[in-house]
Amino acid sequence: LRLTFHDAIAISPALEAEGKFGGGGADGSIMIFSKTETAFHPNIGLDEVVESFRPFQERSGMGVADFIQFSGAVGTSNCPGAPVLNVSIGRTDATRPAPDGLVPEPFHDVDTILARFADAGEFDELETVWFLIAHSVAAQNDIDPTVSHAPFDSTPEIMDGQFFIETQLRGEGFIGKAGIEGVAKSPVRGEFRLQSDELLARDNRTA
């Protein structure tokens, strides 16, 4: 699911308007040009995901761009509580890597995050928050490796609204190392809170 997002968000009409290449969005570039794109800072950890997917993609007969979105939809639909997602097929695979700098980082402020979603797909504040339902079935591994697999809510195996409820709670402490960029104090033992989720839950445009 994270891979679907990091492939798809890498598109920028704003860059194109400046005469630069803005990326192709959900074009499979993160997997086709994985050496380049998984080295981008926000894509940390996705190299392993890409390589574990590759044999399945090669045998699937599907294009890379479609395979990423299809497998993300299947994986998400398999989560208890999730709807069965429809997938549209027929994307064109990338012929060049996306530029760096288009994937949101956990240390970005709300203005930066909202501007990025607005540029990528004309998504508004509400749609940006809707996307974050993904963090209901998510964990961190690489932001603080001392607590890898730390989930973002107390029910990471269930696609539910618990992530949104718990992100509203006051943070009490760091479950791993203190002072890591992009990490906020979390309210529940064993739970990890990204600073971006903390800020979005407290801004009057997105709370």
Kindly list the residues in this chain that would bind ligand HEM in the complex (CB under 6 A).
Answer: 1-2, 5, 45, 104-106, 113, 131-132, 134-135, 138-143, 194, 196
Q: Is 6 a catalytic residue?
A: yes
Taking the C-alpha atoms of residue 40 and residue 12, their distance in angstroms, rounded to an integer, is 16
Taking the C-alpha atoms of residue 137 and residue 139, their distance in angstroms, rounded to an integer, is 7
Shortest distance in whole angstroms from residue 133 CB to ligand HEM: 8
61 vs 83, which CB is nearer to ligand HEM? 83
96 vs 177, which CB is nearer to ligand HEM? 177
Taking the C-alpha atoms of residue 63 and residue 67, their distance in angstroms, rounded to an integer, is 6
Residue count of the chain, please give it.
207
Question: Is residue 135 marked as binding?
Answer: yes
Question: Is residue 93 marked as binding?
Answer: no
Shortest distance in whole angstroms from residue 61 CB to ligand HEM: 26
Question: Is residue 206 marked as binding?
Answer: no
Question: Is residue 34 marked as binding?
Answer: no
Shortest distance in whole angstroms from residue 117 CB to ligand HEM: 8
Per-state percent for the chain, helix, strand, coil, to nearest 5: 45, 5, 50
5 vs 174, which CB is nearer to ligand HEM? 5
3-class SS at 140?
strand
CB-CB contact of 143 with 137 (8 Å): no
* Active site (catalytic) residues: 6
